[in-house]
A and B are shown apart, each in its own frame.
Chain A
């Protein structure tokens, strides 16, 4: 239950639900906690809810910390 995974939003449905994709697997999740997400965004999914959007620039900075 504590495991959260990064996945990409591929479709936005009614009632703040969306389809996300992770390694070829698609699943319907709720975006009620971050209703502003858009198709193409990567999000952290936790127990069926998108919790936060992943910031690509910040991810790159983390990877380049010592370079």
Chain B
């Protein structure tokens, strides 16, 4: 695969790891957080943490939308499917096995006869609406700013096609408010962030400026291959050594400084920013979610079906909140591997393969 295979070249990755060794100050501790779950997964999958010197420590942030989705939002959809047999729910495959607060997942209720379809794209949900005019199609939309524009486009398209049976249940979340939430934790020991490459493709570099300015944290926007990530860690070490806190772009082949202006315009057209939104493991975060603009409310499942949510309750011993803030590792959680595993996830970091606990479990993190 062009633009992937050549960035997995082990000799290039090792060369960069040696450069980190060369410039790293042995008397210093470097604590960096990769925000994005895709980065967490890649770091473990390619064993990058094993190439780093002992004093360069990677912490795993909350950038996995499936992980941080409150279980109560899954419960609410399951309740709605029970009382309304006209609905076909379209969802990404990642969500199928995630249990809600009540312990049931979409897979469980599909096995009991609920009409749930796994889709790859919002375009598939639109197609479903065209083909089933007598059914109500709900798209369970989830993701950071990377997926928001595609969801928004589907609503614009549905309006153009005059579809009256398509609506979106928006669970879209925003990256910058979550970064702020982590940096606001009084005990944070972070020295820098790896910023999410594909979120930044959409939002651009300036969106991180308030955090580099206020919290004096270097940010490096990174691609997802092993070479991208190891280079980004090198760039962070260099910034810490030089005592700078700039927004650097490692992923220059895809990320423009301004982001994708067209996608930003489409997001603004369709979505509003909620006063607050719940994050599994982290609680409510101000201005961190996207709801559908009133102008498009006929396409908003929350309005159309009057969906209500219960307050999320975490397991009392679940350490996900502190893990997602980089304050603890999965090994310090009482539940990890004892009762909490990928088949029986108790908290946010285990529910998806991109969560920190699931990555530790799968690839033997220590």
A residues contacting B by CB (< 8 A) are: 1-6, 8, 22-23, 29-30, 32-35, 42, 44, 46-49, 51-56, 58-59, 61-63, 65-66
Where chain B touches its partner, the secondary structure class is helix
B1-A48 in contact (CB<8A): no
Interface size class of B (residues with CB under 8 A): 35 or more
The interface centre, meaning the residue of B7, B150, B256 with most chain A CB atoms within 10 A of its CB, is: B150
Instruction: Name the distance in Å between B259's Cβ and chain A's nearest Cβ.
Output: 9
B142-A52 in contact (CB<8A): no
Closest to B198 in A: A4
> Which single member of B198, B252, B262 contacts A33 (CB below 8 Å)?
B262
Tell me how many residue pairs across A and B have CB atoms closer than 8 Å: 116
Stretch of B70-78, B120-128, B206-214, B325-333 on the interface side: B120-128
A58-B252, A62-B223 given; 14 more Cβ-contact pairs under 8 Å? A1-B92, A1-B147, A42-B2, A42-B3, A47-B120, A47-B143, A48-B121, A51-B260, A53-B254, A54-B253, A61-B252, A62-B7, A62-B252, A63-B12
B16 within 8 A of A: yes
B99 within 8 A of A: no
Closest to A49 in B: B150
> Which single member of A22, A34, A46, A62 contacts B198 (CB below 8 Å)?
A46
> Which single member of A6, A35, A54 contacts B262 (CB below 8 Å)?
A35
Closest to A64 in B: B12
B64 within 8 A of A: yes
Pick 6 A–B contacts, CB within 8 A, sort by A.
A8-B2, A29-B121, A35-B262, A46-B146, A48-B123, A62-B253
